[in-house]
Structure 1
Amino acid sequence: MGVVGVVGAVLGSMAALFVLLVIGAALLKSSSRPETTTPVAIPTYEPSESTTDEPSPTWTPTRSHSQSEEPTQQETTPTQQQPKVTLNTSLKNNTVYRAGALPRLSCPAGNASIFNHSQLKALILKTGKCMDQAWGPILEKQGIDFSPPSYAIAAKRGRGACGDYPSAGSMVPYYCPRNNTIYASTSAMARGNGNARGYGQIISWHGGIISMLAHEYGHHVQNITGMMDSWWRASLDSSSQSGKLALSRKLELQATCFGGMWMRSVASSYPVNTSMRARLFWFYGQVGDYPGWPRDHGKPVNNNLWFRQGWEKGKTFQCNTWVAPSSTTS
């Protein structure tokens, strides 16, 4: 099956668990709660200058954003040599952390209804292209081989390379690294699936669903930068279930941070005004792990924190969950 296939199967099954987290959030929070948020302290991180696979990074106030390279040289002419980029695919010092901020792009969403399949599908595909335009150039600039993900968007349900979508009792989309495809059911996301409440029953504004697709796109970034393979190897090496869950939370919270980066990059054109931003922050404070369910995505307060980290800090190295204090990834 291979590493990528096994990872795909794991991520497919993790998608089924995520709906339980959303359900718990929705049940524990009153529907009459105002959609406001109180600012939280956002940690500040600068990447380690080391490029070794096993660095000893710390979470500290600002340090210089610099990593040394050890490129090999390839002779192109008798008098000119072209450096070859050496990529770091580790979790803690991955080359992606050097990519910096996403460009500010125009990506107007319009008035699409999340309860209309054709409108929501069109919006997902449109914003997906905007994500390509945002992530592609900054990754390629670092020598990362970029290719966009594919999409399979069904009105009801379908069968993908990593399993059925939505999974039984689930309404969440999922990313399958086996074929680099994001799978989603518009009806499940908007209206729910069985006893699973949909995102549209928590926040009816389309920005909520699109931000979740930006999270899935974050998994694609993790995949093409080698982090997903590194995460899977670390999971296999972990001798305890608690250790595996801790790694899963870091993976998921990083994808949420990347999603926050992208939503901020299109905020002026999408648009995400002050009111909608508050609703978006509130939304991410409603989803996460709850007692009785697997602790694989992080507490609601940390989902909120990492989405805001991506939004407010806006640079890839600020999404390095792998060196963050355990309290922020619990």
Structure 2
Amino acid sequence: MPTRQWPQPPQRRKSGAGVLGVIGGVLGGLAALFVLLIIGSAMLKSSPGSDTTTPVAIPTYEPSERATHEAEPFPTRTRTREPSREPTREPAEEDDTPVNPPAQVTLNTSLKNNTVYRAGTLPRLNCRAGNVSIFSHSQLKALILKTGRCMDQAWQPILEKQGIRFSPPNYAIAATRGRGACGDYPSAGSMVPYYCPQNNTIYASTGAMARGNGNARGYGQIITWHGGIISMLAHEYGHHVQNITGLMDSWWKSTLDAGSQSGKLALSRKLELQATCFGGMWMRSVAASYPVNTGNRSRLFWFYGQVGDYPGYPRDHGSRTNNNRWFRQGWERNAAYQCNTWMAPSSTTS
């Protein structure tokens, strides 16, 4: 794998532009920040990964209450609840009843107490994968798009219930390679899909994911069952959830403010491991219908013991042990607040 450079974040703008505006202006040079879930260990000979990691003890708390160690004031976003979609009807007679203004919803967009942590569990969904070969571009692309719609169906109701405005991500799926708003996909020497917050798009190359790209081995050389790749797309969808809930904004602000490289890397690992936990939640929500039988569940847990930071490169995605731990956390605990990596012990996000 070619050396991956960790780009320095740009200077903070003094204007009032939002953080996503900053991200949009620099993403051409910072695409590596959003190439998500690097398979470093895939280049090593497969070694037994842990599938017995201990779940993380995340305290049950009310997300609207700011943690005492969180900076004042915590970020918020105020929006108006959507008007009713009921068809309008002419009143039978003059109605002098005062019309109340739409309710205002104040969302907490901070890392530790984000409104998303109120969302609870993902509903059980009927999302059957069928018999799909990951080595067929047309079959794998169709499965990615189908399961993407299932992810919409899972996340939309629980987010909207909390007043979070939902919009689905876009997809750009190539057989070999392409170029998008965040650069080439796959990136040079990489085969991973990635989420681009500049245009809310998940980019992926089916050929690279299945067979590899250059010196980077493909997922198909680690796990041939399509659930492995789909779980990675669920991770990327997790980044979309982070984006529309304000988590990614808050992460980027914290990254700009971090005074050391190690601090920036620690923040990156928490962002990535949280997305992995969100991915685990979704895989559990479709386990009965996909289906994920006992054998494939064991394969998934083993798979997440093989992915993570590559020795000698920036520790920006978390160790193999912790990738396994947070995927299992999402699968076994299946509650949004259980994916709060920002409140977890540092040993679980290393």
Residue in structure 2 matching 1:27, options 37, 44, 50:
44
Counterpart in the other structure of 2:24: 5
Counterpart in the other structure of 2:15: none
Name the CA distance, whole Å, in 2 between partners of 1:314 and 1:72.
Answer: 28
Counterpart in the other structure of 1:40: 53
Change (3 A) 1:259 1:73: closer
Query: Amino acid of the residue matched to residue 24 of structure 1?
Result: S
CA contact (8 A) 1:158 1:166 kept: yes
Paired residue secondary structure (2:173): strand
Identical-pair percentage? 72
TM-score of the superposed pair, with normalisation by structure 2: 0.83
Name the CA distance, whole Å, in 2 between partners of 1:79 and 1:168.
Answer: 58
Once the two structures are superposed, what CA deviation does each residue of 1:57-113 show, in whole Å capped at 9, x if it has no partner?
Answer: 8xxxxxxxxxxx9x9999x96486754211000000000000000000000000110
Counterpart in the other structure of 2:323: 303
Name the CA distance, whole Å, in 2 between partners of 1:195 and 1:287.
Answer: 16
Counterpart in the other structure of 2:126: 106
CA contact (8 A) 1:102 1:135 kept: yes
Listed as ranges, the matches of 1:200-279 within 5 Å are 200-279=220-299
Q: Does 1:283 align with 2:296?
A: no
Bigger drift between 270-279 and 9-18 goes to 9-18
Paired residue secondary structure (2:204): strand
TM-score of the superposed pair, with normalisation by structure 1: 0.88
Counterpart in the other structure of 2:156: 136
Q: Does 1:194 align with 2:214?
A: yes
Listed as ranges, the matches of 1:77-92 within 5 Å are 78=98, 83-92=103-112
Name the CA distance, whole Å, in 2 between partners of 1:50 and 1:100.
Answer: 11
Counterpart in the other structure of 2:87: none
CA contact (8 A) 1:98 1:317 kept: yes
Once the two structures are superposed, what CA deviation does each residue of 1:119-146 show, in whole Å capped at 9, x if it has no partner?
Answer: 0000000000000000011001100000
Shift of 1:328: 0.2
Name the CA distance, whole Å, in 2 between partners of 1:96 and 1:50.
Answer: 8
Once the two structures are superposed, what CA deviation does each residue of 1:238-294 show, in whole Å capped at 9, x if it has no partner?
Answer: 010000000000000000000000000000000000110000000000011133111
Counterpart in the other structure of 1:176: 196
Once the two structures are superposed, what CA deviation does each residue of 1:218-255 show, in whole Å capped at 9, x if it has no partner?
Answer: 00000000110100000000010000000000000000
CA contact (8 A) 2:40 2:308 kept: no
The size of the alignment, in residue pairs, is: 312
Name the structure with the higher helix share.
1
Change (3 A) 1:73 1:96: closer
CA contact (8 A) 1:88 1:94 kept: yes
Shift of 1:9: 4.7
Name the CA distance, whole Å, in 1 between partners of 2:233 and 2:258.
Answer: 29
Unaligned runs of 5+ in 2: 1-19, 71-75, 84-96
Name the CA distance, whole Å, in 2 between partners of 1:16 and 1:80.
Answer: 46
Query: Amino acid of the residue matched to residue 29 of structure 1?
Result: S
Larger radius of gyration: 2
Name the CA distance, whole Å, in 1 between partners of 2:80 and 2:194.
Answer: 40
Name the CA distance, whole Å, in 2 between partners of 1:280 and 1:255.
Answer: 16
Bigger drift between 39-48 and 165-174 goes to 39-48
Change (3 A) 1:158 1:151: same
Counterpart in the other structure of 1:313: 333
Bigger drift between 47-56 and 285-294 goes to 47-56
CA contact (8 A) 1:113 1:206 kept: yes
